[in-house]
Amino acid sequence: MKYISTRGGGKPQEFCDILLGGLAPDGGLYLPESYPQVADRLDEWRGLSYAELAFEILSLYITDIPAADLKAICDKTYTTETYRWSRDAAKARDIVPLTTLEPDFHLLELSNGPTLAFKDMAMQLLGNLFEYVLDRRNETINILGATSGDTGSAAEYAMRGKHNVRVFMLSPEGKMSAFQRAQMYSLQDANIFNIAVRGMFDDAQDIVKAVSNDAGFKAKYKIGAVNSINWARVAAQIVYYFKGWFEATTSNDQKVAFCVPSGNFGNICAGHIARMMGLPIAQLVLATNENDVLDEFFRTGIYRPRATAETYVTSSPSMDISKASNFERFVFDLVGRDPAIVRQLWREVDGGGSFNLAEGPFATRLPDYGFVSGSSSHADRLATIRDVWQRHGLMIDTHTADGVKVAREHRVAGLPMIVLETAQVVKFAETIREALGRDPVRPKELDGIENLPQKVEVVDAALDQVKDIIVRHC
Ligand SMILES: *Cc1c(COP(=O)(O)O)cnc(C)c1O
């Protein structure tokens, strides 16, 4: 399998060659040249363990790693030891257990990994792939990133202790919850460097951009990233759509709907690809919070990224995005994989504008892809968390609540609805207390995590101070 850019530049690449990079050199995103068709393999795959299924699916996309090695990487990644935080310990061996709220309405638990959010599903695989490829090539990488919570901690837990990888993760000093800080800063691994920046998330992000724009420094210190546009992350996420579908159906002609709490369009993009591969998905329900860029597109055909000043801080913070960095992948498919059209559309977007597909040839094609959407507010989240608690005795986090709210609006009789549970309640305790007047349930092993010794260097929002830290530790 070879990979091409959504903007049409460059020659097709092998998987391992795009694994360590980000955007394609022409500014586009990588996608496989074609989607393998697997409808006739579903019978054979039903009943496989998560690791076995991951190997079957990923081996269609990763053809430049020997099968035995890829199998070992999947087996090492998807273990009950790593994904052990299920609310029902008896179901932990499923890796992504399905919880049925009522007939034909389910939650798929994707947040049982070490940082209690769905990002672990892909990031843990990425950690093992990085180590494998870097070892084989005798190369090193220094991952530099900025985080306001979930992504940074998932990256650190995936890369901790790995050979040839260091992680330098910037976070805004004092802006994350005590639990999130403890999760990241308590890691004592020699290859993990937490850097707290006196400033906001945007200041940290600006420093990362400035380092990346310094080509000399970037090359000399082998700076890399693991952001949400990384193809391997999307590929890893395809697997749980198959697993969820197997768990919710008994025969191979049964269709389902998935509802996905969305921000950067990474998670639901994997659902779109699963559907393109022949998984019987009737509906992909996209849920946003008040930051409704994507809901607006699927309702109106207009894609209008927002300015930072127009991006709201909400109680489902991992969905607070102003533009959806993976959306270009879907649009590439929608416009018939014509890179000239993608280039033209993103010329508008990258220049701060918008595009409208409501008129013209693509409006009639959009319904073929099965997307519907909706958004929710803080009040909706509180009401949904309360309702699920009262009716089912289950606590759900704020992002999952956005999903449940929008999923209910799109239910079709006889069509099983699977809501992706993207985080655990303990990460968003404040809103749980506001909704339910009590503390969230916390996995026992994490009791007192806030009291562990922390390893973090505090710096001003100054490029030189961050570069200094990198230079000192390389
Ligand atoms: C990242 C994240 C999302 C959004 O996922 P995208 O892939 O960016 O659409 C939703 N919920 C949680 C808890 C997350 O961490």
The CATH number of the domain holding residue 292 is 3.40.50.1100
The CA–CA distances, whole Å, from 125 to 69, 239, 316 equal: 13, 12, 25
Structural contact between residues 173 and 196, judged by C-beta atoms closer than 8 angstroms: yes
The CA–CA distances, whole Å, from 425 to 100, 106, 189, 319, 395 equal: 18, 17, 27, 15, 7
Q: Is the pLDDT of residue 149 over 80?
A: no
Catalytic residue among 2, 71, 91, 119: 119
Look at residue 430 and tell me if it is in a domain: yes
Distance between CA 184 and CA 173 in Å, rounded? 12
Look at residue 352 and tell me if it is in a domain: yes
Closest ligand 1 atom to residue 325 Cα is: 8
Mutate to test the pocket of ligand 1, among 120, 241, 264 (most ligand atoms within 8 A of CB): 264
Distance 155 CA to ligand 1 centre (A): 14
Tens of pLDDT, residues 216-257: 999 999 998 888 899 999 999 999 999 999 999 999 889 999
Look at residue 240 and tell me if it is in a domain: yes
Structural contact between residues 13 and 63, judged by C-beta atoms closer than 8 angstroms: no
Distance 318 CA to ligand 1 centre (A): 5
Look at residue 273 and tell me if it is in a domain: yes
Distance between CA 211 and CA 466 in Å, rounded? 9
Distance 99 CA to ligand 1 centre (A): 20
Look at residue 375 and tell me if it is in a domain: yes
- 119 noted as active-site residue: yes
Tens of pLDDT, residues 293-319: 999 999 999 999 988 788 888 999 889
Look at residue 322 and tell me if it is in a domain: yes
Question: Which DSSP letter does residue 13 get?
Answer: B
- Residue 233: alpha-carbon gap to chain centroid: 7
Look at residue 203 and tell me if it is in a domain: no
Closest ligand 1 atom to residue 154 Cα is: 15
Q: Is 154 in the pocket of ligand 1 (CB under 6 A)?
A: no
Q: What is the pLDDT of residue 473?
A: 94
Tens of pLDDT, residues 209-226: 899 889 999 999 999 888
Look at residue 32 and tell me if it is in a domain: no
Query: How crowded is residue 373: how many other Cβ atoms within 10 Å of its Cβ?
Result: 23
Q: How many domains does the chain have?
A: 1
pTM (predicted TM-score): 0.96
Q: Is 31 in the pocket of ligand 1 (CB under 6 A)?
A: no
In b/e form, how buried is each residue of 199-222, taking b as 16+ CB within 10 angstroms? bebebbbbbbeebeeeeebeeebb
Q: Is 286 in the pocket of ligand 1 (CB under 6 A)?
A: no
Closest ligand 1 atom to residue 261 Cα is: 10
Looking at residue 400, its amino acid is T
Tens of pLDDT, residues 43-70: 999 999 999 999 999 999 999 999 999 9
Domain with 380, as residue range(s), is 89-115+235-436
